[in-house]
Amino acid sequence: MGSNPFDLSGRIAVVTGANTGIGQAIAVALAEAGADVACVGRTPAEETVARIREIGRRAEIVSADLSTIEPVARVVDETVAKLGRLDILVNNAGIIRRADAVDFTEADWDAVVDTNLKSVFFLCQAAGRHMIASGGGRIINIASMLTFQGGIRVPSYTASKSGIGGLTKLLANEWAKHGVTVNAIAPGYIATNNTAALQADAARNAAIVDRIPAGRWGDPADLGGAAVFLASDAAAYVQGHILAVDGGWLAR
Ligand code: NAP
């Protein structure tokens, strides 16, 4: 590693949900900083892999449906088999279900909490075991404004993302002594598939944009710098932090 503390050359990253949206942008940003990337997800991240290879870094597809914890150990093993090691884990894959709290179903509760929280914990555990054994690593969980706020009509999503905040701090407390940092990025309103329904609703869209000090939706690429920072040596002493990248939403 050179004198640039943000240089990720020689590091191997795993990014879940890397085929689109925020996960794709973070995978590409890590590669631009020098990392090789295992692109994990249920839809093959062919476009992301092609973009990373164009940058001159290695990229591999690791197929996994993270709606259950069944694939988590294999995700780590396959990454190590294909790319040699594992230094950085970005838990980005996530889903949202919208309905009034009085009507919310058990199925919509379980689907979101299993994907957004349970699978995240057990993938952290699988990667953490590897990182502890190999002398350190970086874990970055994708949180939300609803790690801090209540939201509306998204009870399982709010529960899962609030849980991500606590889990990030717990893992930071347990693993700091092993050289593993565990932090989170809380995106504001980012234009992706996840928020397509909000963007399409003219009234909600106007209310959201009006409340964002930056005056616009975030672009997935807006998350890249925060991810590179938290993955890098520059953030070696940053632990259990939830970094908002939100155009000022929380400051308002
Ligand atoms: P997105 O475009 O819908 O992407 C979600 C990603 O997660 C996709 O790659 C998706 O794969 C993957 N995924 C979902 N369920 C999966 C499963 N069972 N197994 C494997 N992969 C799965 O959404 P996004 O906005 O980029 O969201 C990425 C993360 O940021 C999520 O955790 C989300 O909660 C969080 N976030 C987003 C915003 C925002 O404003 N967009 C704000 C705060 C937090 P498929 O393409 O196969 O479905």
**Average pLDDT value for the chain:** 97
- Looking from the CA of residue 218, the nearest atom of ligand 1 is 40
User: Taking residues 48-69, what's their average pLDDT?
Assistant: 98
With a pLDDT cut of 90, the percent of the chain lying above it is 98
Q: Which two tokens stand for residue 139?
A: 């874990």
Ligand 1 pocket test target in 16, 22, 67 with most atoms within 8 Å of CB: 22
**CA–CA dist 154, 25 (Å, integer):** 25
**CA–CA dist 31, 205 (Å, integer):** 32
**What are the pLDDT digits (tens) for 5-26?**
999 999 999 999 999 999 999 9
**CA–CA dist 16, 2 (Å, integer):** 28
Q: What are the residues whose beta carbons fall under 8 Å from the beta carbon of 179, sequence distance 6 or more?
A: 131, 135, 136, 137
**DSSP tag of 172:** H
- Looking from the CA of residue 91, the nearest atom of ligand 1 is 32
**What are the pLDDT digits (tens) for 168-181?**
999 999 999 999 99
Q: What are the residues whose beta carbons fall under 8 Å from the beta carbon of 166, sequence distance 6 or more?
A: none
Compute φ and ψ for 68, nearest 5 degrees: -130, 170
**pTM for the model:** 0.98
* 97 CA to centre of ligand 1 in angstroms: 12
pLDDT at residue 164, rounded to an integer = 99
Tell me the domains of the chain and their CATH numbers.
12-244 (3.40.50.720)
Please answer whether residues 167 and 124 qualify as being in contact, where contact means their C-beta atoms are separated by less than 8 angstroms. yes
Radius of gyration of the chain (CA): 17
pLDDT at 191 over 60: yes
Q: What is the residue-wise DSSP string for 69-110?
A: STTHHHHHHHHHHHHS---EEEE---------GGG--HHHHH
| Confidence band, pLDDT 50/70/90 cuts, at residue 1 | very low
